[in-house]
Structure formats: structure tokens, C-alpha cells
Amino acid sequence: MELFDSHAHYNDEKFEQDKEEVLKNIYETGVTKLTCVGYNEKSSEQAIEIAKTHDFIYATVGISPNDIPETENEFEQQLQKISKLAQNPEVVAIGEIGLDYYWNKDNKEQQKNAFIKQIELANNINLPIVIHTREAVNDTLEILKEQMPAKNKGIFHCCPLNQELIKQGLKLGFYISFAGPITFKNSKNAEEVIKQVPLEKILIETDSPYLAPEPKRGTRNDSRNVIYIAEKIALVKGIPVEEVAKATYQNAEKIFQKK
Ligand code: NI
């Protein structure tokens, strides 16, 4: 059984010491594709570097809502660099981008501006987007529907377990990527939400090194744990885990295409 982890951060400092060993183990245990996601200029450069040196890894580049510089000027400079980085053949999406009113409430306008400008970039160079949205459902949907629709669609990464967001996201043509929280014992509506999304629109991810699923909760996460996400989906949908693995693999290959 092969698995595709649609979202992980091997560009995070928590992997600095043993990245090569971890990546080797991951591949050998059957996670034969994964997307390493950037969240600012430096991590985007690193994601490309990792993808260049490992054939099974794809990269994304972008400025996350939690990494937006204070001034418009600095943002514009970083955006220029992200646009250049996006030209690399390893880059398969712009992201993670979006809105996060949980960690940052005081710069909503800057967040929206950064989100819109990066969707514009993705549209200009024909790439999908990877969306990070937290406590910002209405503004996220408003931007995606009205202000700046994403031409090549994309993915709701670590999708909030919010039925309205998922309903609207599916209507817009986006993929829903499930992560560790669907396995947490206190996730109230995980089952309803999993049932709500058809298999052909589901991706699975770890968001490593964060959000380790049950039964590994609290440890440094890595892509080997993506199996627990697949198992939970299989359990809720009442289908074999191999079927979830295969469908999510094909879905991820469809949305992430190396140039
Ligand atoms: Ni992430």
C-alpha cells in the first residue's frame, strides 16, 4: 500500500538534525510521495531544496497568514521573491496561504491583502493554492468566491471540521485535506464531516512536525503517521484502508503536478 502525504514541513527546524534519516524511513514504509510546504521565504527556499534532492517530494511556496511582515513594502519584496521561487519545476502549488484569526486578530486587512495577492500569483502562473484557514471561515469563502477566485482551485489544508466551510469548499471545486484532528477523541463532528466529503475529493496529510494523530498524539509528527488518517477515514466510510490510500494518492497526483 502506497500513501501520499499532501502536507508536511521537513523545512521545519525540528527536522534539522535527522531529516535525511527520517525521509528515508518514510519512503521505505510506503509513503512514496509527499508535499513539503513553505510558509515564508526561507522555508519556501528550503522546500524547493528538499524537493530537488528527493524525487518523491514536491514543494510549495508562499507566505502564510502567520508570517506576514509588518509593512506593505516588506510584503511586496517577499512576494517578488516567492514569485521567482515559484518558477522552479519542483513547485506544484502556492501555499500555504490564507487567513488565521486565531493566532493573529490585529492584522486582518494585511492578511486578506496577502491572501488575494498570492491567489493572483497562482492564477498568473497556473498553479493551485494550499489554503490555511483558522477562525476565518466567512472571510476565506468571500475571497475565494467573490474577490479573487482561484482559477486552478486547490486544497483546504488541515481542513477545519466545519460543515458549512466544507460544503462551500466542495461547491467551489476544492479538495479537502484531513489531518490529525480527525483522530482526536475530542473532535466532535469528525465523523459527520468525513461522511460529507466524497472520496474523490479527499486528501490526507500529517502537517508534520505538528498535529501527530492518535495514537501518537504529543510526539513529533512525521509522514509515517499518515496511515492513521487513512484508517480513520476507512473506518467511518466502512471501506478498506487500501481504497482510501489509492483514492487519496490519485487525488493528490491530480492536483499536484510537477512541471
Ligand atoms: Ni502546514
pLDDT in tens, 139-164: 999 999 988 999 999 999 998 899 99
Q: Is 132 helix (H, G, I), strand (E, B) or coil?
A: strand
pLDDT at 186: 87
Task: Convert 178-243 into a string of H (helix), E (strand) and C (coil).
Answer: ECHHHHCCCCCCHHHHHHHCCHHHEEECCCECCCCCCCCCCCCCCHHHHHHHHHHHHHHHCCCHHH
Cα 205 to ligand 1 centre (Å): 9
State which residues form the domain around 18: 3-256
Question: Using an 8 Å Cβ cutoff, are 181 and 164 in contact?
Answer: no
pTM of this structure: 0.96
**Please, what is the Cα angle at 228 between 225 and 233, to 5 degrees?**
140
What residues sit around ligand 1, an ion, with C-beta below 5 angstroms? 207
Domain count, the chain: 1
Residue 95, domain CATH: 3.20.20.140
pLDDT in tens, 78-99: 999 999 999 999 999 999 999 9
Cα 234 to ligand 1 centre (Å): 23
